[in-house]
Amino acid sequence: MPRNPKVYGAPKKPGEALKSLKRIVKMLYGFYPVLVPVTIFCIIFSAAVSSVPAIFVQKVTADIAEYSQTGDWEAAKAVIFPKIGILIGLYVLSIAAITIYQQLMAYMTHGFLNHMRCAMFDGMQDLPISYFDTHKHGDIMSYYTNDIDTLRQLVSQSIPTLIQAGSIVLFVLSIMLYYSIWLTLVVLGGVFLMMLVSGKVGGGSAKYFVRQQQSVGKQEGFVQEMMNGQKVIKVFCHETESREAFDALNNTLCEDSYRAHAYANILGPVIMNIGNVLYVIIATVGGLFLTCGLKNFSLSGIAFGIDIVVPFLNMTKQFTGNVNQVSQQVNSIIMAVAGAERIFGLMDEKPETDDGYVTLVNAEIDADGNITETTARTHQWAWKHPHTADGTVTYTPLRGEVTMNEVDFAYVEGKNVLHDVSVYAEPGQKIAFVGATGAGKTTITNLINRFYDIADGKIRYDGININKIKKSDLRRSLGIVLQETNLFTGSVMDNIRYGRLDATDEECREAARLAGADDFISRLPEGYETELTNNGANLSQGQRQLIAIARAAVADPPVMILDEATSSIDTRTEAIVQRGMDALMKGRTVFVIAHRLSTVKNSDVIMVLDHGRIIERGSHEKLIAEKGTYYQLYTGAFELE
């Protein structure tokens, strides 16, 4: 499977990681331009208050030293108690600020994740089919679970902690410089050592946290494949090989996780103990300054004394503790950036391009062939074609004429799977494609509905180049029933109505009757209101297919594509379905892909494909008379496969 460099890239350089972090912050601010500044103010205010006690300790210590000489403790109380009261008042305000910012962060975090999930899902709806053909679905699911969770931790914990701890570090540093530059330099020396250790250990941690995120995505993709393929695994006794493949992925994840957290777990204790050693060094240096009577050098000009040393010890603990807090958030930030890179990789994928400007509209067509656009559902359609050159608008009735002229196509450049394919489908004709698997049958239908765009040639719909038709309108005019049935969680009625959301209950029932599904649906426990889950696992494959056919019938499209639509239905059920299909196909242009040649005998034109080329075409009788490849396929001279 191709590896998307946006998703599976190597660990990002610091500049690129910082760019991703800035993008997250910018998006958060974009969603909450008022609440973000309010939250930051509350965080900084609480940080400032937590730094204030150092000043009060210095003032109170100085007051005690002064009044201890006179012994006038009543006067000391009159000076000290008001300061303590102010400190208590600041703490109360700090508690209020902390409460406010924590509530705001909870609100913004989950709102931000909600916006991100919506943006991811909305963007995913606009991606081309080729994206899902080249990416594991389990890995895509990992974006919505593991990667989003890393953003939750970043927004709710890491960013507030960084702002708070960073603010405290700046406030405390300013206070330390104000009281003693000499002791501050000693503290900064210890912090410099902390940063060296943090950079060394954090760098190793970063590499493995990125790998961990990638390994989680791979493992989830593998698990989903195994869950979807359980029947195949058991039928072919492939359990042992599946376990071994899972163990290999799981061991890689375990190794990456172990190394990431081994580095991370080393970082905290090392930083903390450096802080403890620094505390002892400050006490020793402070004692030496007092003993030797060295002159203090500070911004305040205060003489060096015990009232400087005591608060400095507390500030050292506070300073190094918050530096440690910052370093502890490095791991969360690294994981979040790794997750964000994957998420942004999905969000930045180029959407499916659509340069079409011809749209499909409801129309009223009078006896003279004049077309009038209307908003009412008339069961008549027309292509609305605006002409920019002269500003006029013309209407072409939707007839269902599809032509392909000398079309070449390749999924991978240079490896064509279709060669010079030409198809002419008149309105109301039934065109059948037969041939071995890989001959190009499904590819042709994928080109008609523009799941992929052709490399060369022309495809026209009612004489209009399909590149000029808006993709949504083009696909609205096409009904499709695939071999692989997809049913969604909801009632049977909901699944049929999926073909046309404004269809009434009676129209859905009529579509089911047309497809031959009404009989078995009526016998379900709750009839049309029976809930389906897990892709309709409580129904047989044939029943699921009948509902899919009814879904296409209720859409009432002028062109139908049936890709092995009856391949999963038994012979008896096929006879029932075929009658409904014949009614459904009446008056419509139909493209049929089938391995059961009995289902295509009544086609107007049968085309035999071989390695991307049409080698025979004609009616059943004509091809039988020619006794070529179709004759050999039909008579069993050799198998389709």
Which class in CATH covers the domain with range 487-556?
A: alpha beta
- The average pLDDT across 382-393 equals 88
CB distance 383 to 395 below 8 Å:
yes
- Show the tokens assigned to 24: 């997250």
Asked which of 3-17, 268-282, 434-448, 597-611 is least confident by mean pLDDT, the reply is 3-17
Residues in the chain: 641
| b/e code 366-378 from CB counts within 10 Å (16+ = b) | eeeeebeeeeeee
Section 10-25 average pLDDT = 70
Mean pLDDT of the chain: 81
Task: State pLDDT tens for residues 234-257.
Answer: 666 777 878 888 888 888 888 888
pLDDT in tens, 578-590: 776 777 777 788 8
Count of CB atoms within 10 A of residue 83's CB?
A: 14
Q: Is the pLDDT of residue 638 over 50?
A: no
Q: Give mean pLDDT, residues 142-160.
A: 86
pLDDT score of 43 more than 60: yes
Q: What is the DSSP letter of 155?
A: I
Query: With 70 as the cut, is the pLDDT of residue 203 above it?
Result: no
Q: For residue 206, is pLDDT > 70?
A: no
Q: What is the pLDDT of residues 490-549, one digit of tens each?
A: 899 999 998 888 889 999 999 898 888 888 899 988 999 998 887 787 888 778 888 888
Is 2's pLDDT higher than 50?
no
**Which CATH code for domain 9-347?**
1.20.1560.10
pLDDT at 75 over 90: no
With helix as H, strand as E and coil as C, how does 172-225 read?
Answer: HHHHHHHHCHHHHHHHHHHHHHHHHHHHHHHHHHHHHHHHHHHHHHHHHHHHHH
pLDDT above 60 (res 350) = yes
Considering only 46-60, 224-238, 491-505, which range has the smallest mean pLDDT?
A: 224-238
Do the domains at 400-477+557-641 and 487-556 have one common CATH topology? yes
DSSP SS3 for 294: coil
More confident residue, 148 or 576: 148
Q: Return d(Cα 445, Cα 312) in angstroms, integer.
A: 77
- Going from N- to C-terminal start, the domains of the chain cover 9-347, 359-397, 400-477+557-641, 487-556
Q: What is the dihedral of CA 108, 113, 117, 120, to 10 degrees?
A: 90
The whole-number average pLDDT for the span 132-141 is 79
To the nearest 10 degrees (0 to 180), the angle between helices 181-228 and 159-179 is 170
Give every CB contact of residue 493 below 8 A, 6+ residues apart in sequence: 505, 508, 528, 529
Share of the chain above pLDDT 90, in %: 15
- Higher pLDDT, residue 54 or 401: 401
pTM of the model: 0.70
- The yes-or-no verdict on residue 4 having pLDDT over 50 is no
Confidence of residue 215 (pLDDT cuts 50, 70, 90): confident
**What mean pLDDT do residues 411-431 have?**
88
d(CA 486, CA 602): 28
In this structure, whether the domain defined by 400-477+557-641 belongs to CATH 3.40.50.300 is answered with: yes
Element containing residue 399 per DSSP (H, E): none
Mean of pLDDT values over 151-158? 87
Q: Stretch 279-299: mean pLDDT, rounded? A: 79
For residue 234, give the amino acid letter.
Answer: K
User: Confidence band (pLDDT; 50, 70, 90) for 63?
Assistant: low
Residue range 145-169: average pLDDT? 87
Which amino acid appears at position 438 of this protein?
G
Residue 394 pLDDT exceeds 70? yes
Q: What is the pLDDT averaged over residues 193-218?
A: 72
Residues 175 and 304: beta-carbon distance below 8 Å: no
Q: Which residues contact 88 (CB under 8 A, 6 or more apart)?
A: none
pLDDT band at 269 (very low <50, low <70, confident <90, very high): confident
Residue 522's nearest CA partner among 511, 534, 530, 514 is 530
State the Cα–Cα distance between residues 112 and 120, nearest whole angstrom: 12
Residue 427 DSSP label:
T
